[in-house]
Chain A
């Protein structure tokens, strides 16, 4: 089946620093990738839709200058949390559009101190 990886699986950083999270489709090409955020005991909320070779589409309320998304190839999308603050601490999950449906990565746990 289609496999999506995320790196790192967890990261702890200091407030004010930037963190980059990678999402890779390992055995298929994905024109579209999605980034979700999940706070503890809550559901997944879509942050943005990442299209290869074009600008990402952000959901209402998500700051595009804070959450930078780059989808430079058909197998890699990156999410950079700039100037991270403790309220950005969350579980970030990506998905990649495959044949007929999306395939999810294992998630990245971000903790901002």
Chain B
């Protein structure tokens, strides 16, 4: 079953704008991860945030985690056309534990 639910399902913005995607989950977690997938390609790991962290930054990416609301957000600032991809949140993981993915947000950044 899907643990995470992203919204919006699709987001279309202009280059230079910020993009915000949200993810909600149902059970308690140790960490939450965000991945990017270009069309027809594999997954690229973007960022991992642990349950005791509230915010994390990596370049133009900012991730927040609210364990009381069981939700996370991914903000991409100053978006570029190359950011066009599907973005998934995932819970679980670690070396030996399965990941459960959300449904994903399809981001389109128009030049």
Which residue numbers of A lie inside 8 Å of B, CB to CB? 30-32, 34, 36, 41-46, 49, 91, 93, 95, 97-107, 109
- The answer on a CB contact under 8 Å between A43 and B96 is no
Residues of B within 8 A of A106 (CB): 41-42
Name the segment of B14-22, B60-68, B72-80, B87-95 touching the other chain: B87-95
Count, A-B residue pairs, CB within 8 A:
58
Residues of B within 8 A of A45 (CB): 101
Q: A43-B88, A43-B103 are in contact. Are A34 and B41 (CB under 8 A)?
A: no
CA distance A94 to B104 in the complex (A): 18
Interface hub of B40, B98, B103 (most chain A Cβ within 10 A): B98
Interface size on B, residues (CB 8 A): 22
Which residue numbers of B lie inside 8 Å of A, CB to CB? 2, 33, 35, 40-43, 45, 48, 88, 93-96, 98-104, 106
Q: When the two chains form the complex, which single residue of A42, A91, A101, A109 contacts B93, counting CB atoms closer than 8 Å? A: A101
- The answer on a CB contact under 8 Å between A91 and B40 is yes
Q: A43-B2, A44-B88, A44-B101 are in contact. Are A97 and B96 (CB under 8 A)?
A: yes
